[in-house]
Amino acid sequence: MKHYSHIETSFIHGGISTDEHTGAVNVPIYQTSTYAQKNIGGEVKWEYSRTGNPTRAALESLIAELEGGDAGFAFGSGMAALTAVISLFKTGDKILISSNVYGGTYRVLDKIFSNFGITYEITDTTRESAFEKAITPDVKAVIIETPANPLLTVTDLEAIARIAHKHNLVAIADNTFMTPYLQRPLEFGFDIVVHSATKYLGGHSDVVAGLVVTSKPEHSKQIAFIQNATGGVAGPFDSFLMIRGIKTLAVRMDRHAQNAHDIAEYLQLNSDVKTVYYPGLTSFKGHDIHKKQAKNGGAMISFELTENHDIRKFFGSLKLITLAESLGGVESLVCHPASMTHASIPRDLRVKLGITDNLIRLSVGIENASDLISDIKQAIENSRI
């Protein structure tokens, strides 16, 4: 029986949050591979740490509660989590993915699962009719992200779940950008949620990990089997780091989003900036749908400088914000999608998609917003041609 009703409290007290053996207020790091058994053939709760580990189990019960699911599963990376979920399907099955899913999701389908006869098709999940039209009898699932990288494209969770169920598809959402604090896809009818916990859930750029939450007991049973059979589990120390990160998720996300909002407003009024992509701005294309399904705009912003800027100079001039892959940590990070995350897409197609050479993606941290704005301002001024 829970003695609270708000998610901010769940972040701290949710799931198995204390140690049943000692009363330790933090679940210890059970750094063990195996467990002593009293007798042969007896019932054992813990037998081997690939199958189950108390620290990992605490995290798994926590994420299940946060997303409002049936069960949670922790993996060694977001990609290991996605791989376990895609392993639900078999030869002849097809998976629809939105046009801007994480590059690694596309890659594992295109280069690994294709070898086993699981196919995929890229669809525009922002348009209900286009999505429904792509559903042929072999389609068994849909994987979406909203907002999606790098243009923060918004997909309507309720609409996709509704159409998916009409056609018996498993609806899968990668909720990495939003976290369960800002958006809970299972509440809109999705079946499975996946996270790269490397990002906001870990929150401190010090762990690579992934999570899965299932809403249906049949999927829980299957994912538990796949997790143990294929073995991409999160270790006890990484599980501990995720639990520790999640405790401060609400305060971090509030500050992340406030900073992002301030920066987006600054950029919007800047004549050196051609376009600002941020779901929290009322002028943003998907704003109304996003507002319906998420608490705020999150902390990912993309923006495009006008032509009279040297993009290399912009990145070279930043003094506080770090140029790096990844996102979701306390420190602000910036990246250049055209040469980094989306470099594998041919230039013509990339530009057509809106990923121009002057596009910048910013993961807004929890530093002081005016310090961040000053850094962006001087880098923009320095990069004018």
Ligand X SMILES: *Cc1c(COP(=O)(O)O)cnc(C)c1O
Q: Which residues are catalytic?
A: 50, 102, 174, 199
Which residues, at least 6 apart from 179, have a Cβ–Cβ distance to it below 8 Å?
195, 200, 201, 249, 253
Q: Please select the residue that binds ligand X; options are 140, 199, 219, 342, rule is CB under 6 A.
A: 199
Please give the torsion angle defined by the CA atoms of residues 108, 112, 118 and 119, in that order, rounded to the nearest 10 degrees.
60
Among 208, 241, 253, 360, binds ligand X (CB under 6 A): 208
Nearer to ligand X, 4 or 237 (CB): 237
Q: Does residue 176 bind ligand X (CB under 6 A)?
A: yes
Q: Judged by CB under 6 A, which stretch of 34-42, 113-121, 162-170, 193-201 contacts ligand X?
A: 193-201
Instruction: Please state the separation of Cα 341 from the chain's center in Å.
Output: 15
Find the part of the chain contacting ligand X (CB under 6 A) among 3-11, 161-169, 192-200, 344-352.
192-200
Closest contact distance (angstroms) between CB of 137 and ligand X is: 28
Instruction: Give the shortest CB-199-to-ligand X separation in angstroms.
Output: 6
CA distance linking residue 140 with residue 14, whole number of Å: 33
102 binds ligand X (CB under 6 A): yes
Residues 234-273 that bind ligand X (CB under 6 A): none
Strand segments (E) across the chain = 71-75, 94-98, 119-123, 139-145, 170-174, 192-196, 210-214, 273-277, 300-305, 322-323, 333-335, 359-363
Report whether 63 contacts 205 (CB < 8 A).
Answer: no
Total chain residues near ligand X (CB under 6 A): 13
Q: Which is nearer to ligand X, 74 or 208 (CB)?
A: 208
Separation of alpha carbons 185 and 292, rounded Å: 12
Q: How far is CA 36 from CA 22, 33, 164, 228, in A?
A: 18, 11, 46, 19
Residue carrying the six token digits 């870990």: 202
Identified binder of ligand X from the candidate list 196, 214, 239, 296, rule CB under 6 A:
196
Segment near ligand X (CB under 6 A); pick from 75-83, 332-340, 344-352, 355-363: 75-83
Work out how close the CB of 5 gets to ligand X at its nearest, in angstroms, rounded to a whole number: 29
Block residue for tokens 């120390």: 237
Stretch that binds ligand X, among 26-34, 72-80, 89-97, 299-307 (CB under 6 A): 72-80
Q: Is 75 in the site for ligand X (CB under 6 A)?
A: no
Binding site residues, ligand X, CB under 6 A: 77-79, 102, 104, 145, 174, 176, 196, 198-199, 208, 210
